[in-house]
Amino acid sequence: MKTFNQSDLLKSLPQQFFASLAAKVEKVTEEGHDVINLGQGNPDQPTPSHIVESLQEAATSPVNHKYSPFRGKQEFKEAVANFYKREYEVEVNPNTEVAILFGGKAGLVELPLCLLDRGDTVLVPDPGYPDYWSGVTLAGAQMETMPLKEEHHFLPVYSDLEKETLEKAKLMFLNYPNNPTGATASQRFFEETVELAKRNDICVVHDFAYGSIGFDGNTPISFLQAEGAKDVGIEIYTLSKTYNMAGWRVGFAVGNQSVIEAINLLQDHLYVSIFGAVQDAAITALTDSQRCVLELRDTYEERRNVLIEGLQEIGWDVTAPKGSFFAWLKVPDSFTSVEFSDYLLEKAKVVVAPGIGFGEYGEGYVRVGLLTDLDRLREAINRIKDLGLFK
């Protein structure tokens, strides 16, 4: 059988760092070991039953067996606008300031294709979500990193960025609550971001994937709550984390009209729209009781507390995340992040994600997901304790 060569564009895409981690885990699992996987970012709880039932009912409607409107159902966009008004007191025009997405990831990868020309500059957080890099590469753009350091609460320090870099930059990615660090952002930080973006003509893309997951009584802040935010950017929201709908692939972008129109135009050429029944179920998620959202947040907070307190008890100097469903933990001085990840897998059969996979400034850390039950978290802690690394 003839093998056809991949395009230069595909060959240029960044390597999937976590594919190698998955291969290591699969090998150990196939050998018959009981592996506790804390390295993944896949929600472990089912979608709430009232959302599933909404999908089941909507799937029987012949209207949903046809092509959906190219740019999504009007009722869905209105539900998004009402959601932002209710949750964040942000006014959104459903006709011009909402774009329906095939999951948040699709929007994040699409944005550079919508707004950038070859050679343009993009500011990306380091460490950060690796799929930001994919969209930049597909657009033929150039990345400049914004270091996220613990001493600055994992927020970029804009005064450290070179003037020439800011002048060249056309796009900036931010993400709070943050993957992988679990950090959160303040209203003042977002106001500074708006000021910076206005001065330098930068479009801000705020990845709000973990917008519902804040701890210790603190509700994460939307970028759009900062005055002037819609003048300079958008926010991308996914139902994957808030409502355990990761496999449903549905989300939305909200904000600047010109950016929303660019997304819609690109998607006009790529898709028709999301299955109508999924959109109907998404409407149910956004508009019905939010008790399931609060219960899920409480579940993650309980898991966070068990994990952090347990690791501290065995002598590991760790800090509790303020949001998201991840913890960002320093590795022992004698290890790199990959070496420590490999060591835990080999000796304890516990999977964590090495920080270097999220960027240069991720070195020295591992990411741990709060996506397994309390008994398995406690078992993982005991296995790590038995290694005798922490005294």
List Cα–Cα distances, 24 to 346, 357, 389, in angstroms: 10, 15, 22
d(CA 367, CA 374): 18
Asked if 61 contacts 277 with a C-beta cutoff of 8 angstroms, the reply is yes
Pairing state between β 326-330 and 203-207 = unpaired
Residue 348 has pLDDT above 90, yes or no: yes
pLDDT per position as a tens digit, 230-269: 999 999 999 999 999 999 999 999 999 999 999 999 999 9
Looking at residues 210-237, what average pLDDT do you find? 97
Residue 14 has pLDDT above 90, yes or no: no
**pLDDT value at position 297?**
97
CATH 3.90.1150.10 placement within the chain? 8-46+292-386
**pLDDT value at position 135?**
93
What residues does 144 pair with on adjacent strands? 123
Residue 22 has pLDDT above 90, yes or no: no
Tell me, letter by letter, the H, E, C secondary structure of 77-137.
HHHHHHHHHHHHCCCCCCCCCEEEECCHHHHHHHHHHHHCCCCCEEEEEECCCCHHHHHHH
Closest CA to 222 of 193, 246, 263, 258: 193
Token pair 């508009």: residue: 287
- What integer best gives the mean pLDDT of the chain? 95
Domain 8-46+292-386 architecture: Alpha-Beta Complex (3.90)
CA atoms in the 13 A half-sphere facing the CB of 187? 7
Quickly state the pLDDT bin for 346 (edges 50, 70, 90). Answer: very high
**pLDDT value at position 254?**
98
- Report the share of the chain in percent with pLDDT over 90: 88
Asked if 336 contacts 189 with a C-beta cutoff of 8 angstroms, the reply is no
pTM: 0.95
Residue type at position 119: G
Q: What is the DSSP letter of 323?
A: B
C-beta atoms surrounding 149 within 10 Å: 14
Q: State the alpha helices, DSSP H only, in the chain.
A: 8-12, 17-30, 49-59, 74-88, 104-115, 131-138, 163-168, 187-200, 229-232, 239-242, 257-270, 276-287, 291-313, 337-343, 374-386
Q: Kindly compute the dihedral angle of the four CA atoms of residues 259, 260, 263, 265, in this order, to the nearest 10 degrees.
A: -100
d(CA 35, CA 29): 6
pLDDT per position as a tens digit, 131-165: 999 999 999 999 999 999 999 999 999 999 999 99
DSSP secondary structure of 281-293:
HHHHHHHS--HHH
The CATH code belonging to domain 49-287 is 3.40.640.10
Looking at residues 367-378, what average pLDDT do you find? 96
Residue 124 has pLDDT above 90, yes or no: yes
**pLDDT value at position 2?**
87
CATH 3.40.640.10 placement within the chain? 49-287
d(CA 124, CA 360): 12
